[in-house]
Amino acid sequence: MNLLTFCYLISSITFIIGLKLLSGPATARRGNLIAAAGMLLAILGTVFLYQDERGTRLGNYGWIFGGIFIGAVIGTLAAKKVKMTAMPEMVSMFNGMGGLCAALISIVEFDYLGELHHTIRDTYYGSTALPAFTGHLVIILLGLIIGSVSFSGSVVAWGKLNGTIKDRSFKGQHIVNLLVLLVILLASVFLVVRFDASASWIFYGVLALALVYGLLFVLPIGGADMPVVISLLNSFTGVAAACGGFLYNNKVMLTGGILVGAAGTLLTILMCRAMNRSLLNVLVGSFGGGTAAAAGNKAQGAVKEISLTDAAVVMGYAQKVVIVPGYGLAVAQAQHTCHELEKLLESRGVEVQYAIHPVAGRMPGHMNVLLAEADVPYEKLLEMEQANEVFPHADVVLVLGANDVVNPAAKTDPASPIYGMPVLEVELAKMVIVNKRSMKPGYAGIENELFFSPKTSMLFGDAKKVLQELAAALKNI
Place 79 in a pLDDT band, splitting at 50, 70 and 90.
Answer: confident
Bridge partners for 459 per DSSP: 435
Place 289 in a pLDDT band, splitting at 50, 70 and 90.
Answer: very low
**C-alpha to C-alpha distance for 309 and 470, rounded to whole angstroms:** 7
Through-space distance between the first and last CA atoms of the chain, rounded to whole angstroms: 71
Give the mean pLDDT of 142-153: 94
The reported pLDDT for the residue numbered 135 is: 81
Higher confidence at residue 181 or residue 414?
181
DSSP sequence for 31-89:
HHHHHHHHHHHHHHHHHHH-B-TT-PBP--HHHHHHHHHHHHHHHHHHHHH--GGGHHH
Q: Look at phi and psi of residue 288 and say left if phi exceeds 0, alpha if psi is from -120 to 50, else beta.
A: left
Lateral strand order in the sheet of 351-356: 381-383, 351-356, 320-325, 396-400, 432-436, 456-460
Question: What backbone phi and psi angles, to 5 degrees, belong to 225?
Answer: -100, 5
pLDDT at 114 over 80: no
Instruction: Give the amino acid at 272.
Output: C
The reported pLDDT for the residue numbered 296 is: 47
Give the mean pLDDT of 103-128: 68
pLDDT at 127 over 70: no
DSSP sequence for 410-476:
HHH-TTSTTTT-----GGGSS-EEEEESSS---TT----GGGGSTTEEEEES-HHHHHHHHHHHHHT
- Percent of the chain having pLDDT more than 90? 44
Quote the crossing angle between the two packed helices 130-162 and 173-193, to the nearest 10°: 150
Lowest mean pLDDT: which of 135-149, 179-193, 261-275, 388-402? 261-275
**C-alpha to C-alpha distance for 184 and 149, rounded to whole angstroms:** 11
The reported pLDDT for the residue numbered 123 is: 52
pLDDT at 119 over 60: no
The reported pLDDT for the residue numbered 1 is: 56
Place 287 in a pLDDT band, splitting at 50, 70 and 90.
Answer: very low
pLDDT at 125 over 70: no
Taking only the tens place, the pLDDT of each residue in 202-243 is: 999 999 999 999 998 888 876 667 778 888 899 999 999 999
Full set of structural domains in the chain with CATH: 84-284 (no CATH), 299-475 (3.40.50.1220)
Contact 370, 364 (CB under 8 A): no
| CB neighbour list of residue 99: distance below 8 Å, 6 or more residues apart | 146, 147, 148, 149, 150, 151, 154, 233, 236, 237, 240
Per the annotation, the verdict on 462 as an active-site residue is no
Taking only the tens place, the pLDDT of each residue in 11-25 is: 999 999 999 998 777
**C-alpha to C-alpha distance for 12 and 247, rounded to whole angstroms:** 18
pLDDT at 294 over 50: no
**C-alpha to C-alpha distance for 208 and 107, rounded to whole angstroms:** 12
Taking only the tens place, the pLDDT of each residue in 26-63 is: 788 899 999 999 999 999 999 998 887 677 788 788 99
Average pLDDT of the chain is: 84
Residue 442: which of 471, 421, 414 has the closest Cα?
421
Taking only the tens place, the pLDDT of each residue in 307-317 is: 999 999 999 99
**C-alpha to C-alpha distance for 278 and 156, rounded to whole angstroms:** 22
Catalytic residue among 111, 196, 375, 404: 404
**C-alpha to C-alpha distance for 66 and 232, rounded to whole angstroms:** 32
